[in-house]
Structure 1
Amino acid sequence: MTTLNDLQTPALILDAGRLDRNLERMAAKARSLGVALRPHLKTSKSWDVAKRQMTTPQGPATVSTLKEAEYFAAHGVRDMIYAVGIAPSKLARVAAVNAQGADVKVIFDNEAAGRAISDFCEKQGVTIRALLEIDCDGHRSGLPPDSPELIKVARSLRPGSGAELAGVLTHAGGSYNATGPADMLHRAHEERDGVVRAASRLREAGLPCPIVSVGSTPTATFGDNLDGVTELRCGVYAFFDLFMLGLGVCRQSDLALSVLVTVIGHQKEKNWVITDGGWMALSRDRGTASQKLDQGYGLVADINGEPVPEDLIVVSANQEHGIISSRDGSAFDLGRYPVGTMLRIFPNHACPTAAQHPQYYVVDDGTEVRAVWPRIYGW
């Protein structure tokens, strides 16, 4: 039997019991709202996680890279949305995946991209379905629901070219700045209302809009009504992280992902414990610095995944060194953490932390490693 004590550190630990509970809660939420769940697979980038997230082995699913699309298509996933604005140079890869039996849909928010999709499809004699990206909250890319350009951009997919309008998609990224449950609910309504309004405008103009897609983990968690929406996308809900904890989206006991590190030394005069888990293992993400509770580079837990009583965080990180101290800088008994002690660090942001590692060491509410699940990298 392999346990966490047997592993070389740093190592990425996934608690399967917490993962499964997180997945079931979101699946139940989608069912209660009467919409399809199209989970985002960008956080896990792993078939072993994805097959637990999706409602069928064929999808639906969301991906953020074409490498993910290729990887999951090789495992039999068919219904995917590549949820990053399409670069014309990537259309050949989309077509190649689709030629193997998949239906990878792309997104766009401008006429140049729409024309590029049309030109490619017409020249290659292929069909690619595309969704118009809607900006529901000024967070990032997309067209505002009431944009005067909306219909014109949608029509840049030329009829008969092979490029087909599949619907509209939005992401309430502004929900990551929400200030409480009421604000989160408001943002969920804003997300829904914006994308539904855009869909209505397209239909009134005689354009098809079968898919009306919304999604972010915060709005998915707090949303109470998705009338007019067909599907829900979210991804980090599978693992959760300290940023989601700070938003009130999850509980500490829901955090499924952590990084196992080993104590390698101390700086007694500074009240520091030094580990072998630096920013190459944890990532440089400092997202909680803008929240009420700054978690440094991560929250320190014992090898069983229970936060240590001294309220320790990783206060600083070099490439391969993590520096642990008390949150307020006060002294604590360094002797409780001798060289060789293994600790687990809950990260600020699950996506970039997982991206640093080639595999998950899977436990189930304990320290026994019951499986090793590979994950992929790159674009």
Structure 2
Amino acid sequence: MDFSLQYHQSFIGRPAKDLPTPSLVLSKPILEKNIQQLLQDVKNLGIAFRPHVKTLKSLEVTRMMLGNGQHRKIVASTLCEIRGAIPLAKEGILDECLYGLPIYPSALPHLTELSKSLKIVLMIDNDQHIDILENDVRSGKSVPWPVFIKVDVGSHRAGVENTSAALPRLVQRAETSSAVELYGFYCHAGHSYSSRTAKEAEAVLQAEFEGVVSASRLLDVTADRKVVVSIGSTPTAHVVNGLKCALPGHLVLELHAGNYPANDLQQVCTGLVSESQQAVRVVAEVCGVYPDRNEALVNAGTVALSKEVSDSPGFGRVTDNLNWSVVRMAQEHGILGTRSWEKVVQKFCVGQKVFLYCQHACITAAQHHVYYVVDEEDVVRETWVPWKGW
């Protein structure tokens, strides 16, 4: 069993520098500020919001993202996340979850069971998905599955492009199938992470909006039918106030985003958030200092950090000296190096605790069994145990 799972509560009331290494440290004041900012932006715009729970997979953060019931829908990337969120449905603050991967057969029995606790919405992007759901109905499911059709607006992961002849065929198939009920159109602009200015992110956001609205025109909509068009990513969510849109009356605009409570070096590189808006750090310990090559070794490697990169150098950066970053890694250790004139012996010694910003908070957080939650003084006040697995 992981040491943190046995003893994590014993660190409550102690400074973060006393934590076992490596550990994930979560700043609650920063987390709360990041979450409240987006909730306020959504409120100002008067649009719906569906937080993605894949970054900090926990009841505590999910409850905060929902505004404690102000918003009542989530999107999840794993079945584990949906199971983990069930207590929020029982509390009465969560009504619905979108399973964010295009549907596949082995997930259906689990989703059918989960649908007894909250409404489950599925994602489709081709005819084979409807084949699967029609087979499911024939095998005994009595009600159709609500589905989003995923539209590819440039990320080229899942989704069907607006220019593809497959999209109108898929819409027609969904509209006539007894196995599905077309809920709306969904896109995710993963390519927005390449934005380096607010103007660039706003252009991606506008393309998202136009992409799903264009897809919705394929429907023959009656006056009383509401269709959801769901857009978003963390970079585009950061500029959602810049959205210029005229929404047809039958459409409901929904924003989704997931990384924004945490932020990370990749988000900082978009130019839309600052270093100080990063809520996640990893605390590691110096295990060796090597003056001849001006490097130090820490006990946080690939498994504790991830091999994600960005325009920010290295695989993680020392929070109180950004000239130093993790320049190489093995499974359980990383090498601190610098491009500056600074000497390692003047900055680090064996046994010293160092705090690292991570490149991609979603992946880094998934490696850790406990989130150590600190206050403004960097004192541990809570420990949160995340949902693990798939």
The answer to whether residue 374 in structure 2 is matched with residue 363 in structure 1 is yes
Paired residues in the alignment total 366
Conservation of the 8 A alpha-carbon contact between 1:273 and 1:325: yes
Q: Could you say which residue in structure 2 is the equivalent of 1:304?
A: none
Conservation of the 8 A alpha-carbon contact between 2:125 and 2:158: yes
Cα deviations by residue, 1:154-176 (Å, 9 ceiling, x for unpaired)? 23337573421111100111211
**Residue among 360, 363, 368 paired with 1:349:** 360
**Residue among 151, 158, 169 paired with 1:134:** 151
SS of alignment partner, residue 237 of structure 1: coil
TM-score where L is the length of structure 2: 0.88
Conservation of the 8 A alpha-carbon contact between 1:242 and 1:295: no
Cα deviations by residue, 1:44-83 (Å, 9 ceiling, x for unpaired)? 1111111000134482111111111121124323311111
SS of alignment partner, residue 201 of structure 1: coil
Alpha-carbon RMSD: 2.1
Cα deviations by residue, 1:174-217 (Å, 9 ceiling, x for unpaired)? 21122432222111111101111111222369996621111111
Q: Could you say which residue in structure 2 is the equivalent of 1:48?
A: 60
Conservation of the 8 A alpha-carbon contact between 2:295 and 2:344: no
Cα deviations by residue, 1:10-46 (Å, 9 ceiling, x for unpaired)? 0000000000000011111111222111111000111
TM-score where L is the length of structure 1: 0.91
CA distance in 1, matches of 2:147, 2:229: 12
- What one-letter code is carried by the residue in structure 2 that aligns with 1:66? L
CA distance in 1, matches of 2:169, 2:282: 48
The answer to whether residue 256 in structure 2 is matched with residue 233 in structure 1 is yes
**Residue among 103, 126, 150 paired with 2:119:** 103
Bigger shift: residues 127-136 or 147-156: 147-156
- The within-5 A match list for 1:76-91 is 76=89, 77-91=94-108
Gaps of at least 5 residues in structure 1 are 302-306
CA distance in 1, matches of 2:304, 2:175: 47
Q: Could you say which residue in structure 2 is the equivalent of 1:263?
A: 286
SS of alignment partner, residue 238 of structure 2: helix
CA distance in 2, matches of 1:34, 1:79: 20
SS of alignment partner, residue 106 of structure 2: helix
CA distance in 2, matches of 1:72, 1:87: 21
- What one-letter code is carried by the residue in structure 2 that aligns with 1:189? Q
Deviation at 1:7, TM superposition (A): 1.5
CA distance in 2, matches of 1:252, 1:14: 14
The answer to whether residue 317 in structure 2 is matched with residue 299 in structure 1 is yes
- The within-5 A match list for 1:11-160 is 11-57=23-69, 59-76=72-89, 77-99=94-116, 101-127=117-143, 128-157=145-174, 159=176
Conservation of the 8 A alpha-carbon contact between 2:323 and 2:340: no
User: Structure 1 vs Structure 2: percent identity of aligned residues?
Assistant: 29
Cα deviations by residue, 1:314-356 (Å, 9 ceiling, x for unpaired)? 1111111111121x15442524322111111000000110011
CA distance in 2, matches of 1:204, 1:112: 25
CA distance in 2, matches of 1:376, 1:204: 40
SS of alignment partner, residue 354 of structure 1: helix
Q: Could you say which residue in structure 2 is the equivalent of 1:216?
A: 233
CA distance 1:71–1:282, change in 2 (3 Å): same
